[in-house]
Amino acid sequence: MAGVEEEVEEVLAEDDSSETRHINSIVGQIEAIILSDEFAVLRETFLLEHCHVFDDGEENKLEYTEIYNQYTQLIEGHIERELSTREEGFQMSSFLQDLSSSRSLDGEVFDLLLTFTDFLAFKAAMLETKKSQEENSSSLSDLLQITSFKS
């Protein structure tokens, strides 16, 4: 096409060590896990089960911390179990150690993972789910009609 400039990305240096390839492979697996329908259902189900506890006040209740801890255990456990089935001999502790010494920590998958461990993002998701539930139930109540049957 005439007159259209193409954006070209220039790679100045690339780490192609086996350790970097291994980390990138696992990161790719994590991305596939957290973008899967199964993961979305797992997360949504948890949010729906617990959103009624949360309110939009500034003060956080102790109950929120307990639910948040359950949530992080659920999310982390699911990711670790899935990785164990996809990567033979996978050890989360070894991966985290490799990751901490690596320089390839940027990317959208890491940003997404951080939202799963951020309490404020968690609370916002709970409140959004609660709001959605309330809006859906109020719109359904408009559809209900109650009639009395007298003999």
Task: Report the predicted TM-score, pTM, of the whole model to 2 decimal places.
Answer: 0.71
Neighbours of 67 (CB within 10 A): 20
CB 102 within 8 A of CB 20: yes
Q: Which residues contact 33 (CB under 8 A, 6 or more apart)?
A: 39, 78, 79, 82, 83
pLDDT tens track of the chain, all 151 residues? 555 556 655 544 455 677 778 788 888 898 899 999 999 999 999 999 999 999 998 899 999 999 999 999 999 999 999 999 988 888 877 887 777 776 655 667 777 777 788 999 999 999 999 999 888 765 544 555 555 566 5
> Nearest-5° angle of CA 55, CA 46, CA 94?
115
Question: What domains sit in the chain, N to C, each tagged with a CATH number?
Answer: 18-132 (1.20.1520.10)
Helix (H, G, I), strand (E, B) or coil at 104: coil
